[in-house]
Amino acid sequence: MKKIYISMFAVSALFFAGCANDYLDVNQTESISTKDIELFNNDAGAATFVTAIYSKFLNWDMSSFGWIGLASITSDDADKGSSPGDTGSDKDVLDALTYNSSNPSAESTFNANYDGINRCNQALDILPKLDKADANLRTRLMGEAKFLRAFMYFTLVKCYGGVPIVDHLPNPVSDDDQKMLLTRKTAAEVYAFIESDLADAIAALPNKAAYAADEKARASKGAAYALLAKVNLYQKNWQKVVDNCNLVTGYSISADYAKMFQLEGENDAESIFEINGVGSVPAKGIEGYSASQGARGAGGWGWGFNTPSQSLLNAYEAGDVRKNATIIFRGTTLYDGRVVPNTVENPMYNFKAYSSQYTDGWETDANIKYLRYAEVLLMKAEALNELGQTPQAIPLLNQIRNRAGLGVTTAVSQVDVRTAIWKERRVELAFEFDRFFDLVRTGQAKTAFAIDGKTFTEGKNELFPIPDSFIRQSKGMSSQNLGY
């Protein structure tokens, strides 16, 4: 099931070296010859180019410490955690929303996603040339590459607003081409590009059920529809949200919320798209993901960053099973018998990053669930409510509440149902990298952060800074976000 994240071997060194230090590094493309391509002109070789894209999500700079800081510690769901004197390089300023344009986490996230986009572009350039590989396989692989590129651009537009669109391999001898690729586009243009990629992905990808058991983690048609619905949600295209949610078929919410985030719940019936980690030898998990968030101090097993906030704890209703499935409490015993002693430094930790079998490993079997069917139901409920179809939205909201062990909502009016859905998203998707962006897109940020003791500056903190290093490289083709 997880093998697609393991095998990068020769192709990584041959084609994907050097991207981290230069936004439009094209040196790797200059070494590609007809002979090199012929080495991969078969089914297994073709798949390798897309495997390399998935593997990018396991990197420290893509899905781990910087991303945790940027998308989670900044939110009102989380505090910096760790020891008071350990800043984690910039996690203290992220927590306080006082970061600037030299912020390391904003830079690493920006660069990592463009590194991944470069891998997508490499795959999309080379796959049509592999004429000895099965044509249907190549079509599917190109659909996967389009989905993954769309996913990365969605991350970028949420974080930075409009960004440059790199949709092909740069021409190393064309200044005009490189200037074009360094030019910042509007957010609307980026969203249109994402939608185009997802339309292509939908046409090429199979349903999840069509994949073999050991390939369930690959992008599917359902994943593309779900991501497109989320892209529509962020643009408030409410009818499109409903339409695309209706096309996400073959999934169901799991009976046991807690088990979804344990080994037995990986790629289950609720999972639409998740990043898989392998803790066994050879380990290929998300680098430092579990370790950086594990309990810190005597009897602990990690660095203790990204700890649940009191604000999040207060958001759970009495009897909500999601609380104990999301938060590790100091002084308790976990589902696998591990005791969390009172000697650890912080009172709470992120349970969704916990690995039972490889608890203190650098690369564990912990996964990140990025798209779940529960969110599809909540997106559809939100859109129906905004369209004035509140009676149709309420049963969807109640499905999620009932699974959590709660009674039906008491909300009836459109305004109250809207608030109820927003709150349900918070406790349902806690520590799944949505909360900060939900606060921004719904206009709740300033009030929510004030409750959490943080000052959210409107007109600035909606977006993170474009890295100074890129602004310098763009030579006037891209501008900085307001306030930085």
Q: What is the pLDDT of residues 41-84, one digit of tens each?
A: 999 999 999 999 999 999 999 999 999 999 999 999 999 999 99
Instruction: Tell me what the mean pLDDT of segment 265-274 comes to.
Output: 97
Res 464 pLDDT > 90: yes
**Whether the predicted pLDDT of 11 surpasses 70:** no
The pLDDT score that the predictor gives to residue 411 is: 98
3-state secondary structure of 307: strand
Geometric angle at alpha carbon 91, from 482 and 300, rounded to 5°: 160
Closest CA to 413 of 434, 433, 388, 432: 388
The predicted-structure confidence for 134-150, as pLDDT tens digits, reads as follows: 999 999 999 999 999 99
pLDDT at 410 over 50: yes
Does residue 450 have a pLDDT over 90?
Answer: yes
Q: Please tell me the pTM assigned to this model.
A: 0.94
Report domain 370-451's class. mainly alpha
Cross-strand bridge partners of residue 372:
271
Task: Tell me where in the chain the CATH 1.25.40.890 domain(s) lie.
Answer: 3-205+463-474
Taking the C-alpha atoms of residue 48 and residue 8, their distance in angstroms, rounded to an integer, is: 7
353 pLDDT higher than 90: yes
> Can you tell me the distance from the alpha carbon of 448 to that of 75, in angstroms, rounded to the nearest whole number?
9
Residue range 79-134, pLDDT digits in tens:
999 999 999 999 999 999 999 999 999 999 999 999 999 999 999 999 999 999 99
pLDDT tops 90 at residue 27 = no
**Mean model confidence pLDDT for the chain:** 93
Can you name the residues that pair with 169 across neighbouring β-strands?
none
Tokens at residue 208, please?
Answer: 């999840």
Please tell me the predicted confidence (pLDDT) of residue 7.
33
pLDDT value for 20: 36
Count Cβ atoms below 10 Å from residue 338 Cβ, excluding itself.
15
The domain defined by 3-205+463-474 folds into 1.25.40
Q: What is the mean pLDDT of residues 411-428?
A: 98
Helix (H) or strand (E) holding 107: helix 104-126
- Locate CATH 1.25.40.900 in the chain: 370-451
Identify the residue whose tokens are 């463009």. 114
pLDDT tier at 23, thresholds 50, 70, 90:
low
pLDDT band of 33, cuts 50, 70, 90: low
Quick one: what percent of the chain has pLDDT higher than 90?
87
The b-or-e profile of 468-481 (16+ CB within 10 A means b, else e) is bbbbeebeebbeeb
